[in-house]
Amino acid sequence: MIRPTHDFLVLGINHNTAPVLIREKVSFPGNHDGAITRFLTQTGGLLECIVLSTCNRSEIIAVTKDPDSSAENLIRLVSEIHGLNQDRIRSYFYIKKGPEAVRHLFRVTSSLDSMVLGEPQIVGQVKEAFRRDATANTTGPLLNRLMHRAFFTAKRVRTETGVALSAVSIAYVAVELAKKILGDLEQRQALLVGAGEMAELTARYLANVVKKPIRIINRTFENACMLASQFEGSADSIEKLDDALAMADMVISSTGSCDPIIRFQQMKAVMRRRRHKPIFMIDIAIPRDIEPEVNDLDGVYLYNIDDLQSVVEENIGERRLEAEKAGGIVDQEVNKFINWTRSLEWAPTIVALKEKFEEIRTNEMSKMNGKLGSLNEAEKDAIEILTKAIINKIAHGPISFMKQSIKTKKINQHVDFVQRVFGLDEFVSDTEPEDAKTSEYEIDHRN
């Protein structure tokens, strides 16, 4: 082959391969302007490069002529940058090349490789890394295309599978449940029973969801006041519990009491006062604050911490199932992309082939010029059209021969063969690989 081969390389560490102690050492937090990416690109002999750094992963996505030696260089550079022993950190890295690198990036961007499967932040983080490094001029036609296909794949995964649909944290599950019971939460009355550490965490979370001031009730009134002042809520003493329950839409109980503080009979009376308006109660205390029988009352929906946890686990299982579906989508997109990169390999040869034929045609035409002088303009045009048609017909055979080679995966042999048969060597070497990415070939593979 005359044209140098370009290959994709991903070198990285993530939550699966390295403990947090190593991950935090091998991150690139100072790469705001892409200076580190530029440094790695120049020093590591890369053609194109993007550096992705999140809390759970650090990855270098690159296009290089020789993936193996580039990977070695990068490991050396990364350990030098961070002042680490290269042999000690080598085992934490994964190196992916060619189609595997493409698949890895697509999976990462689609959040299939995330610690929390389907978490939504990763797409934004990858986009930000790409934007930064594109501005730093370390990306080129191959990475630009690769990244756009990665975002497209992520979008397909998000819309065509349920991988990001179900809630997988206790707080999020609780909020989703509350919405399914109470509808819009903004104008709902939230009541916290207890003013400990858990109550504070809950209040912090609730403040994002509920706009109405949160009501806080505690056995020690002073503690309730302190918490209430933090979140602009209102505080009450424990004697007011029944009144507060009658007004609240959501109750989160987290006291340290040994005995239940909300009992069945008590809640039954409260529900009568509420005229059976639905109430969502969450008991996160251990031992429990609310008698479990309360859930049997009409209009009361009581969840304790174990109930919420089992919903979380169910949802995680559901996401795993959806991730399998997503794997199929990723495979499809990887294949499409790989086919496109292969088309880059025959594209310059097609250009060269057409140029060569055109050269032969114009040479022969000029030789004949004296003899054709007697013809009128219309006849000359006809001959022009005729000869062009002949070379196009001849070129069609070898071109489709190369295009078909995508399916057989013997593209190099086929392209090489065509080049040798038609003596194209000197033509192809004149053509820069970037020129090969003409719009004509892009259209062929847009789908």
Residues with a known catalytic role = 55
Could you say whether residue 177 binds another protein (CB under 8 A)? yes
The residue (of 180 and 211) whose beta carbon lies closer to another protein is 180
Q: Candidates 309-317, 343-351, 378-386, 424-432: pick the segment binding another protein (CB under 8 A).
A: 309-317
The residue (of 272 and 396) whose beta carbon lies closer to another protein is 272
Residues 34-73 that bind another protein (CB under 8 A): none
β-strand partners of 253: 193, 283
Q: Candidates 150-158, 193-201, 275-283, 360-368: pick the segment binding another protein (CB under 8 A).
A: 275-283
Could you say whether residue 303 binds another protein (CB under 8 A)? yes
The residue (of 273 and 420) whose beta carbon lies closer to another protein is 273
**Least CB distance from residue 165 to another protein, whole Å?**
7
Cα separation, 140 vs 395, in Å, equals 31
The residue (of 165 and 360) whose beta carbon lies closer to another protein is 165
Could you say whether residue 101 binds another protein (CB under 8 A)? no
Could you say whether residue 382 binds another protein (CB under 8 A)? no
The three-state DSSP-derived secondary structure of the chain is CCCCCCEEEEEEEECCCCCHHHHHHCCCCCCCCCHHHHHHHHHCCCCEEEEEECCCEEEEEEEECCHHHHHHHHHHHHHHHHCCCHHHHHCCCEEEEHHHHHHHHHHHHCCCCCCCCCCCHHHHHHHHHHHHHHHCCCCCHHHHHHHHHHHHHHHHHHHHCCCCCCCCCHHHHHHHHHHHHHCCCCCCCEEEECCCHHHHHHHHHHHHHCCCCCEEEECCHHHHHHHHHHCCCEEEEHHHHHHHHHHCCEEEECCCCCCCCECHHHHHHHHHHCCCCCEEEEECCCCCCECHHHHHCCCEEEEEHHHHHHHHHHHHHHHHHHHHHHHHHHHHHHHHHHHHHHHHHHHHHHHHHHHHHHHHHHHHHHHCCCCCCCCCHHHHHHHHHHHHHHHHHHHHHHHHHHHHHHHHCCHHHHHHHHHHHCCCHHHHHHCCHHHHCCHHHHHHCCC
Q: Among 135, 169, 309, 310, which residue interacts with another protein (rule: CB under 8 A)? A: 310
**Least CB distance from residue 336 to another protein, whole Å?**
20
Q: Among 33, 314, 426, 440, which residue interacts with another protein (rule: CB under 8 A)? A: 314
**Least CB distance from residue 309 to another protein, whole Å?**
11
Q: Among 131, 179, 219, 268, which residue interacts with another protein (rule: CB under 8 A)? A: 179
Could you say whether residue 298 binds another protein (CB under 8 A)? yes
Contacts of 26 (CB under 8 A, 6+ apart): 13, 18, 58, 78, 82, 84, 89, 92
**Least CB distance from residue 167 to another protein, whole Å?**
9
Residues 142-161 that bind another protein (CB under 8 A): 159-160
The residue (of 102 and 173) whose beta carbon lies closer to another protein is 173
Could you say whether residue 383 binds another protein (CB under 8 A)? no
Q: Candidates 47-55, 225-233, 251-259, 298-306: pick the segment binding another protein (CB under 8 A).
A: 298-306
Contacts of 23 (CB under 8 A, 6+ apart): 13, 14, 15, 55, 56, 57, 58
**Least CB distance from residue 97 to another protein, whole Å?**
35
Could you say whether residue 180 binds another protein (CB under 8 A)? yes
Could you say whether residue 222 binds another protein (CB under 8 A)? no
Count how many Cα atoms sit within 13 Å of the Cα of residue 293 in the half-sphere of its side chain. Answer: 8
Could you say whether residue 19 binds another protein (CB under 8 A)? no
**Least CB distance from residue 159 to another protein, whole Å?**
7
**Least CB distance from residue 291 to another protein, whole Å?**
16
**Least CB distance from residue 311 to another protein, whole Å?**
5
Could you say whether residue 307 binds another protein (CB under 8 A)? yes
Could you say whether residue 396 binds another protein (CB under 8 A)? no
Which spans of this chain sit near another protein (rule: CB under 8 A)? 159-160, 162, 165-166, 173, 177, 179-184, 275-278, 295, 298-299, 301, 303, 307, 310-311, 314-315, 318
